[in-house]
């Protein structure tokens, strides 16, 4: 087993480093984008799939930069649908429109956001990061890490919030039922969105990255956190500046401000996103959102899994939980099937 025992994890609620201007920093960041139109281009994407329809979406992210996304929904359904806005893992891009079909096949609209500048390691993407030249290290997690204003994750979190706004502007979406979802880096981005978008309908976060960052960098050498440690092993005098930057991006701070119902998944042998860092966010989720009622939240623990987590089992649990929280999405009536041999 890795990290703390499970009974300690269930109580683990550390005070993370949080700058006094945390809220002002994010208000200012998002206010700078608020006056820009969010949708830049929406065009049908021809595919060989017959049960879903897809569109190639471009929206204005941080600094007005064009960010690409796939919008997919059940074919032949005109009713406004709840939409799952999904964020990809570290080193991935949006890929091809047929790669992630769980949500549209389940009856939801689905917007999959590209990760600016990150594609090529595990998947393809179409969104560059034109601001990646700020002082820092050679990998996305260290781009601009010496200053929160120029840090890559300031831009990526802003993109994630803008993706929710873009989803609400798309045809066929119920704007009151927007879900933020993701695994690993995607789970961390979804968690940040939950802390920054007050009227989000639900959060799905599995093995979340960007949580309890000060501890994560100290206890694991596995990337992406290991890439920060490698950077500091070379730039030995940058530690305090790096820790300050990370304090503005910590998922625990976002989790404390969140109010949407939340579903988490964490694996106890995960060295990529150590379990204590995810539990630190889950255990404090909604603690500082200013609302008297407790937040609907649940967590599923996978004691024998590493960063792959619960995979299909976790997705099935998400589907069942989300149907309970939002209600069954509207979908086309299934075709009648006669199972008798020789009958078509």
Hey, which residues are catalytic here? Answer: 184, 270, 307
> What string of DSSP letters covers 107-175?
T-EEEEE--TTTTTSSS------TTTTSSS-SSGGGTTTT-GGG-HHHHHHHHHHHHHHHHHHSTTEEE
Alpha helix locations (H) across the chain?
A: 6-9, 22-34, 102-105, 152-169, 185-196, 213-219, 225-234, 239-247, 251-257, 275-283, 311-326
Q: CA dihedral in degrees (317, 319, 320, 326; nearest 10)?
A: 140
d(CA 42, CA 171): 10
| 46 within 8 A of 275, measured Cβ to Cβ | no
Of 215, 291, 218, nearest to 250 by C-alpha is: 215
Positive or negative, the CA dihedral 200, 201, 205, 211 is positive
């Amino acid at each position: 087993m890795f990290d703390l025992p499970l009974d300690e994890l269930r109580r683990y609620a550390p005070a993370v480093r949080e700058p006094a201007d945390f809220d002002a920093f994010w208000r200012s960041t998002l206010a700078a984008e608020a006056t820009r139109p969010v949708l830049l281009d929406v065009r049908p994407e021809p595919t060989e799939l017959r049960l879903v329809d897809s569109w190639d979406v471009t929206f204005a992210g941080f600094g007005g930069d064009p960010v690409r996304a796939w919008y997919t929904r059940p074919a032949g359904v005109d009713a406004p649908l709840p939409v799952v806005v999904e964020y990809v893992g570290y080193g991935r891009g949006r890929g091809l429109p047929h790669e992630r079909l769980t949500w549209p096949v389940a009856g939801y609209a689905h917007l999959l956001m590209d990760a600016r500048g990150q594609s090529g390691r595990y998947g393809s993407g179409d969104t560059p990061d034109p601001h990646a030249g700020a002082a820092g290290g050679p990998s996305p997690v260290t781009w601009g890490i010496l200053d929160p204003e120029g840090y890559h994750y300031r831009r990526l979190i802003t993109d994630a919030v803008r993706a929710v706004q873009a989803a609400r502007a798309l045809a066929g979406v119920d704007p009151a039922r927007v879900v933020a979802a993701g695994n690993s880096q995607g789970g961390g981005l979804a968690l940040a969105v939950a802390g920054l978008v007050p009227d989000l309908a639900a959060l799905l976060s599995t093995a979340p990255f960007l949580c309890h960052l000060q501890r994560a960098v100290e206890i694991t050498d596995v990337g992406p956190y290991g890439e920060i440690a490698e950077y500091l092993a070379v730039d030995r005098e940058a530690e305090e500046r790096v820790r300050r930057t990370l304090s503005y991006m910590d998922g625990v701070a976002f989790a404390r401000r969140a109010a949407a119902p939340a579903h988490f998944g964490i694996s106890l042998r995960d060295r990529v996103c150590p379990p204590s860092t995810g539990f630190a966010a889950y255990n404090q989720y909604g603690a500082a959102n200013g609302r008297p009622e407790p937040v609907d939240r649940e967590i599923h623990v996978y004691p024998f899994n590493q960063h792959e987590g619960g995979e299909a089992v976790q997705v099935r649990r998400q589907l069942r939980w989300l149907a309970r929280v939002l209600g069954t999405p509207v979908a086309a009536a299934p075709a009648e099937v006669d199972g008798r041999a020789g009958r078509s």
